[in-house]
Amino acid sequence: MVENSGARIGVLALQGSFREHITSLKKAGADAFEVRKKEQLDCCDGLIIPGGESTTMALVAERWGLLEPLRAFAKSDRPIWGTCAGLIFLAEEAEGQKEGGQQLLGGLHCKVSRNFFGSQVDSFECELPVDKCLGGIDSQSGEAATTRAMFIRAPAILSAKDSVKVLAEYTTTDEQKAATGRDKVIVAVREGKLMATAFHPELTDDLRWHKYFADMCVEASALRPNVEPASSPCLSGLVVLPDIPVYAPNSDLR
């Protein structure tokens, strides 16, 4: 994975955990900034759609005239990573939506269950085995390495086409299996330039996911001609907020 990649990654800052992503991206060596306007979106080598409330996010994007630019971005050659609500936003199909449904960007050929794990009180944390592309084999033990995964009123992927690479699967507990009828679900995927996770790496101190995405953005930007410099006027006027803490394991969350 590339350190200090210099990739310019925007984080959609309409709602949700965008500041946490920006903190992690900076630690991973990427140039990260908030995106609220089409002009800012045009400056991105890649984009993160953060966790939050997917219906609210879609409504705000539509109201601010960002929905069509986001759809055009999703069809371009630039990477997008959706976490939790962002996963729902990227999916081609979602079940469990509110009455009337919601706007989806699409592009990720999978079917998502919007609230697979239940309500807010059913949120949980676990150690999750990850694919070898994220350093999925422990060099000393030879066993599958894990990532700390935080599921907050989380979705899950029920099915995916063959073009979708599975990066992580979650084995349900007995209680979850009784409630959902499934003993295993997909919770992280990549399809071409699109990546999605049902959990929140930005709330942990594991930077592998952000470094992996930054590498995707570096590779994509190298193929794009006439990329504007980082001092582009379209990034002027942004309010730079201080980094926020990320909770380490066993930290005091009070």
Give the residue numbers of the binding site for L-glutamine. Answer: 52-54, 114, 152-153
Report the b/e string of 195-216 with b at 16+ CB within 10 A. bbbbbbbbbbebbbbbbbbbbb
DSSP, collapsed to helix, strand or coil, labels residue 201 as helix
204 phi-psi bin (left φ>0, alpha ψ -120 to 50, beta other): beta
Q: Which three-class secondary structure string do you get for 169-188? A: EEECCHHHHHHHCCCEEEEE
Does the annotation count 99 as an active-site position?
Answer: no
- Closest residue by Cα to residue 196 from 71, 53, 118, 84: 84
Does the annotation count 202 as an active-site position?
Answer: yes
- Catalytic pick from 21, 109, 200, 210? 200
How far is 115 from 155, CA to CA, in rounded Å? Answer: 5
How do strand 146-151 and strand 156-160 relate by DSSP bridges? unpaired
- Catalytic pick from 43, 44, 84, 110? 84
- Catalytic pick from 21, 34, 202, 217? 202
- What residue type is 7 in one-letter code? A
> Which of the residues are catalytic?
84, 200, 202
